């Protein structure tokens, strides 16, 4: 059995005032508390009006936009096209969350930089949800959301 030895306190270096009139040494300046900044997902949620489902979908769209090289080129824009079910699967949402919550919230709050429409890629193919993103305007909105961070005011009870 090993015994742990405690370090002895070295009092020779301590500064003790000689009398009550001599001021005690000033303590070292303490660092300011670190203010936590919101991550990219939290910023997406704030941009999407506080909706968790819309924030998740916007985060996924932004991630795919950066990664995918082959985008559809129609109507003078680049587009990503998937079914509602596929958008839900990729972002971890149910079909009803995508249809009833995420897409309407994105259309409402993100229309400055995100265009959403329903169309077919081929004439006889199924209708898909097409999404076009303006990355420059998104980054401006993200910076604004980061600078005006007030998560306490965003209700967590929203769908």
The 3 state secondary structure assigned to 101-126 is HHHHHHHHHCCCCEEEEEEECCCCCC
pLDDT for the residue 130: 96
**Phi and psi angles of residue 25, each rounded to the nearest 5 degrees, phi first:** -65, 145
**Phi and psi angles of residue 130, each rounded to the nearest 5 degrees, phi first:** -100, 135
- Under a CB-based contact definition with an 8 Å cutoff, are residues 128 and 81 in contact? yes
The top-level CATH class assigned to 40-148 is: mainly alpha
* Domain extent listing, the chain: 40-148
pLDDT exceeds 80 at position 5: no
Place of tokens 């824009």: 77
Residues 6+ apart with CB under 8 A from 133: 61, 62, 65, 80, 113, 114, 115
Q: What is the pLDDT of residues 103-150, one digit of tens each?
A: 999 999 999 999 999 999 888 989 999 999 999 999 999 988 887 766
Report how far residue 48's alpha carbon sits from residue 33's, in angstroms, rounded to the nearest whole number: 29
Rounded mean pLDDT, 24-48: 78
Q: pLDDT band at 32, cuts 50/70/90?
A: low
pLDDT for the residue 47: 93
């Amino acid at each position: 059995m090993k015994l742990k030895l405690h370090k002895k306190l070295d009092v020779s270096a301590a500064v003790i005032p000689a009398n009550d009139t001599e001021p005690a040494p000033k303590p070292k300046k303490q660092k300011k508390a670190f203010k936590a900044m919101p991550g990219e997902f939290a910023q997406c949620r704030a941009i999407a009006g506080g909706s968790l489902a819309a924030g998740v979908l916007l985060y996924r769209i932004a991630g795919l936009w950066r990664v995918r090289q082959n985008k559809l080129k129609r109507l003078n824009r680049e587009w990503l096209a998937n079914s509602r079910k596929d958008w839900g699967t990729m972002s971890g949402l149910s079909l009803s969350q995508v249809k009833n919550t995420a897409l309407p919230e994105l259309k409402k709050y993100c229309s400055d930089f995100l265009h959403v429409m329903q169309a077919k890629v081929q004439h006889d193919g199924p209708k898909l949800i097409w999404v076009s993103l303006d990355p420059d305007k998104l980054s401006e909105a993200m910076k604004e959301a980061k600078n005006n961070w007030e998560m306490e005011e965003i209700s967590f009870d929203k769908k």
